[in-house]
Amino acid sequence: MRPTVLIVDDHEENLLALEMLLEQERDIEICRALSGKEALRQLLGQEFALVLLDVQMPEMDGFEVAELMRANPSTRLIPIIFITAISKEERYRFQGYEAGAVDYLYKPLDSFILQSKVQVFIQLWRQRRDLELAYQKLEEANQCIINQKNMLQKMAIQDHLTGLYQRRWFDHLIKSELGAVMRTNTPLALAILDIDHFKQINDSYGHLAGDVVLVGLAATLKNAMREYDTAFRFGGEEFAVLLRGTTKVQAIKVCQRLRMMLEQEHYVYQGQEFRITVSIGLCATDHLPDATRERMIEQADKELYRAKAAGRNQVCPES
């Protein structure tokens, strides 16, 4: 991107003279404005590296243009060199610097001084652009690292097939939840679900059909759960749900509703339609004194085996 210099003067001949003096600067673009208002319109429409601004103009003089530039966030950092034929008295200098000038040039213009000053500001613009690009690349690299870190963290705790949390996250979360139970005396229930005769699905329809069932069951779990419950894939065809603020009696009702929902679902793979049932074992802290992660898993597993032994498609305990 080539740097662009805006030259502003209310006399056409002065603009032509400035353009001729800047002809040797082959690596810059030059835009022109015949009034302060026109200059402001251009300044708001594109990026400029420098403004060469005549002080004495009708309607809106250079000081007013500079003040408006400094008041606008998109133009306030653009360097301004005032070009003037007026007296070099200090009061004019102060007024210009207060308005936002960074330098002064006096008519008649010296081509060497003009070109030298323009080159300095063009070089500063290029350095600023390089810094901005370097910062942008650094920000992009930093965001890439953050995204990769988040992805790795997600992969570490999330099951790639179902999108549910993994057993690893369950082990971490249940410890935290049991700590909350101790502090607040709020009940916590754990339900472990197992798909009945899941091996038969894999044997009859193939493992991809089994994946369809696992993904579908996970979706049903997500839709059926309350917003404060958390579902996990324990492994294989086994799932778990942590039910916060839930007593044993309440958990039984929740699990019976979930069991019936899953019983009504149907799955299709390569034109074959089939249904599943689940067995659910649960426990809750209000009926398990001094509950720990190990004790809750052990108790829920025992109830799950009872449900299977009783014929499957059941919730244990029943009451």
Interatomic CA distance for residues 61 and 288, integer angstroms: 85
Instruction: Name the nearest CA neighbour of 187 among 244, 133, 143, 236.
Output: 244
Judged on CB neighbours under 10 Å (0-12, 13-18, 19+), 100 is buried
* Single-letter amino acid, residue 204: S
What the block records as the tokens of 282 is 């649960």
Local structure of 190: helix, strand or coil = strand
Strands (E), the chain: 4-8, 29-33, 50-54, 80-84, 103-106, 188-195, 230-235, 238-244, 266-269, 272-275, 278-284, 315-316
Q: What is the DSSP string of 90-104?
A: HHHHHHHHHHT-SEE
What the block records as the tokens of 220 is 């049903």
What the block records as the tokens of 102 is 């960074």
Q: What is the DSSP string of 247-281?
A: -HHHHHHHHHHHHHHHHH-EEEETTEEEE--EEEE
Interatomic CA distance for residues 284 and 291, integer angstroms: 9
Interatomic CA distance for residues 194 and 213, integer angstroms: 12
Which of the residues 64, 237, 265, 294 is marked catalytic?
237
237 is catalytic: yes
As annotated, the active-site residues are 237
